[in-house]
Amino acid sequence: MHLIFTMERLGPCFDQLIETATKHPIRTGIIVASALAALAPQVVSSLALGVGGFGSKGIAAGSLAATSQPVNIVAGSIYATLQSAAMGGYGAPIVNGIVAAVGAIVEAVAVAIIVNEGLESREKAPLTEKSVNDDKK
């Protein structure tokens, strides 16, 4: 019985979530992507590094990484760190940490914007006897 009661109460929340996601697909994408980056940075960084041409077996021929490869690669440089991250070396925790931090910051900003919009829309809503009584609860 407790589970049924919970699902009855959560049902409208899920419906509202789907409706909001449908109305705001870009915002939803940003929230999902930033949450993924914050919670599973290795997934996001490995995809991004692969797209850039940094692979687990080296630089992919003809890729962005190959065309931007410096003549002399200095140990500890950004280029070396990105390649190391792609190969699971010392660069992995550095790149994953940066991806997680950026994801968390973007997520926090997105949530703050949504909360602020909700507060503003609530302030603009006309006061009715029902809304006043709801606030007293």
Residue 59 β-bridge partners: 54
Tell me how far apart the alpha carbons of residues 87 and 66 are, in angstroms, rounded to a whole number: 16
Q: Is the pLDDT of residue 47 over 90?
A: yes
Taking the model in full, what pTM does it have?
A: 0.73
Specify the DSSP element, H or E, that contains 127. none
Tell me how far apart the alpha carbons of residues 99 and 25 are, in angstroms, rounded to a whole number: 22
35: CB partners within 8 A, 6+ apart: 103, 107
**Where in the chain does DSSP place strands (E)?**
54-55, 58-59
Tell me how far apart the alpha carbons of residues 97 and 34 are, in angstroms, rounded to a whole number: 13
Percentage of the chain surpassing pLDDT 70?
A: 82
**Which SS3 state, helix, strand or coil, does residue 86 take?**
helix
Domains in the chain: boundaries: 2-123
Query: If you average pLDDT over residues 20-38, what whole number do you get?
Result: 91
pLDDT tens across 77-125, in order?
999 999 999 999 999 999 999 999 999 999 999 989 888 887 777 777 6
Query: If you average pLDDT over residues 46-55, what whole number do you get?
Result: 95
